[in-house]
Amino acid sequence: MIDFNRLIIMQFSEYDADYPAKKAKYLDLLAPFEEKLIAIQQTGNSMAASDQNMIECKWLILYTADWLAVEKRLDLLRESLGHPDQAWAEQQVAADGSWGPCYDQWFLKVDAMIDAVNTLADQNIAPCYPLTFLAPIGTIPDMLAWLEDHKTSQIYQDGLDRRDALGAVTAALSQMCFKSEIRDYFRKYVTGFDLGDDYIAAYKSWLEAWQNTETGYWGGWFATQEGPVLQSPDLSLTFHNISYQHGKVAQWPAIFATTILIRDQAYPFGWQHNGDFNNHNNYDVTKIFALGWDQVTDDLQAQARDDLDLVLNWCLTCSMTADGGFVDDPTFYNSVGAAYYYGVSFLDEAGYFETSKRFWTDQDFPDGPALCCKIQANMKQNHLDDDEAKAAMEKLVAACGDCGA
């Protein structure tokens, strides 16, 4: 099996011989600002501008070797942390209809847009301004050209790993094309963007061609100096393609086999982060298994069942605090609310709260309802109310009702 994380480091080092040391340096410089931001967010202030600066800064460090841009973004983050009133950064931008005004990277604005549109669709509210910033994917030829241009990275040539941008835009496109409520919202409210049947069919055809025929997975491709382009098995990108298509994908036995095979590999090409499991990845894996459970053999189900039992035990014993909280990991999550959202989402998807969702086991989890209420109480006590925390609370209430104060 190819170690894609090692390959990426080697290619960045070919582009910049000091890459490992510089990456470590800037991650160390980012850490105290990230800690300060998290501490403020725990008071209930989303700090939207600082959050956007932090996300882009982290992306620059992890996916580029543009150290000058990193230093500029660190300065912006440092300065923004001194201004607690940042509600303006949550609003749609009049000039181009985008969200995320502190982002420079277009794909991050796309990511912010799809989150905002999900909220607006729930409320049946039209956007205030046309989404003209979506012009790079506004037509079928432009959309296909953008995807092809970002599918393959040549890190050793340009110091850029395109994987994160590709993942963000395909996740947004998949929601726009395959989530009925988002598709209907675009067709009803979004002017200047024709999300017609031909557009959706062209995107789906591109997705089908992108899927690896041996692993069943999707992922970024990496050009090499020595030979062929290498296709990575990316857990997150695969999850999004399967989830937003509601499991209506090909090659389920290969998908299961690959998912099981990469359990002990490092994210995004495996389940592990910093040598341990992670509730975000546990949730992705669990939903992949749930959507394809009836499409595979008893043997593959048995192997998946063992792994699900393993990560459920890890979640309950290692990722949670005694008072119903989730341990945050700022090296992976962008907010405290995200740690709660993915912890709750994993337990919910695994059926820990509700017997009707236990697709993989006949076990009884008698502590599930009580834990559901304990998590609710912890979130209320800690005033967690950002978008991801709110989404986590919605799942908890759906599972066990509103447990009160």
Q: Is the pLDDT of residue 97 over 70?
A: yes
Q: How many CB atoms lie within 10 A of CB 10?
A: 14
* Residue for token pair 């985008």: 98
Nearest Cα neighbor of 119 from 397, 390, 399, 402 is: 390
In a domain, 168, yes or no: no
pLDDT at 8 (0 to 100): 98
Which whole-number Å values give the CA distances from 144 to 71, 162, 170, 200, 370, in the listed order? 33, 15, 11, 11, 49
- 357-378 tens-digit pLDDT: 999 999 999 999 999 999 999 9
For a pLDDT cut of 90, what percent of the chain falls above it?
A: 91
Task: Retrieve residue 30's tokens.
Answer: 């980012």
Q: Give the domain-ending residue among 32, 64, 90.
A: 90
Which of 125-134, 189-198, 333-342 has the lowest average pLDDT?
A: 333-342
- 376-396 tens-digit pLDDT: 999 999 888 878 899 999 999
Q: What is the pTM of this model?
A: 0.92
Which three-class secondary structure string do you get for 321-359?
A: CCCCCECCCCCCCCCHHHHHHHHHHHHHHCCCCCHHHCC
pLDDT at 351 (0 to 100): 97
In a domain, 145, yes or no: no
In a domain, 219, yes or no: no
Residues with Cβ < 8 Å from 28, sequence gap 6 or more? none
Q: Is the pLDDT of residue 333 over 90?
A: no
Alpha helices in 42-105, H assignment, sequence order: 48-63, 67-80
Mean pLDDT, rounded, for 297-311: 98
In a domain, 181, yes or no: no
Q: Is the pLDDT of residue 334 over 80?
A: no
The span from the CA of 124 to the CA of 146, in Å, is 30
Angle at 181 between CA 176 and CA 185, to 5 degrees: 70
Q: Give the domain-ending residue among 56, 90, 124.
A: 90
In a domain, 266, yes or no: yes
In a domain, 157, yes or no: no
The span from the CA of 210 to the CA of 217, in Å, is 9
Give me the number of domains the chain comprises: 2
Handedness of CA 232, 235, 240, 243 (dihedral sign): positive
Q: Give the domain-ending residue among 51, 72, 90.
A: 90
**DSSP state at residue 190:** -
> pLDDT-based confidence at 405, cuts 50/70/90?
low
Structural domain for 261, as ranges: 252-405
pLDDT at 404 (0 to 100): 78
In a domain, 62, yes or no: yes
- 24-77 tens-digit pLDDT: 999 999 999 999 998 888 787 889 999 999 999 999 999 999 999 999 999 999
